[in-house]
Amino acid sequence: MKKLAILLIVIFSTINVFAQRGNYGNNFFGHLEFRSVDGTYTATLEKNIFDGLVFTDNAKNNVSFDKKYLDRHYPGIMSDNKGKSDFFRRLVRKLYRDSGYKASHTVDIFNKEIVEDNRGYRSESGKDIFGHEFFEEKGKDGSLSIKRNLQGVLEYDRNNYSASLGKDIFGKWIFSDNEGNEIQFNYNSWKKLINKFGTDKEVLWFLVDKLINDNEEESYEDYDY
Radius of gyration of the chain (CA): 23
> Which one is predicted more confidently, 79 or 219?
79
> Which one is predicted more confidently, 58 or 14?
58
Q: Which pLDDT band holds residue 150 (cuts at 50, 70, 90)?
A: confident
Mean pLDDT across 128-141: 91
Tell me the average pLDDT of the chain.
85
Residue 19 pLDDT > 60: no
CA distance linking residue 202 with residue 20, whole number of Å? 36
Residue 87 pLDDT > 50: yes
Residue type, 149: N
Q: Which pLDDT band holds residue 20 (cuts at 50, 70, 90)?
A: low
Side-chain-side CA neighbours of 113 within 13 Å: the count stands at 18
Among 107, 154, 114, 115, smallest CA distance to 132 is for: 154
Which residues, 6+ apart, have CB-to-CB distance to 107 below 8 Å?
A: 66, 68, 69, 72, 113, 114
What are residue 225's DSSP bridge partners? none
Question: What percentage of residues in the chain have a pLDDT greater than 70?
Answer: 84
Cβ pair 163, 175 in contact under 8 A: yes
Phi, psi torsion values for 104, nearest 5 degrees? -130, 145
pLDDT for the residue 151? 87
Stretch (H or E) spanning 18 = helix 2-20
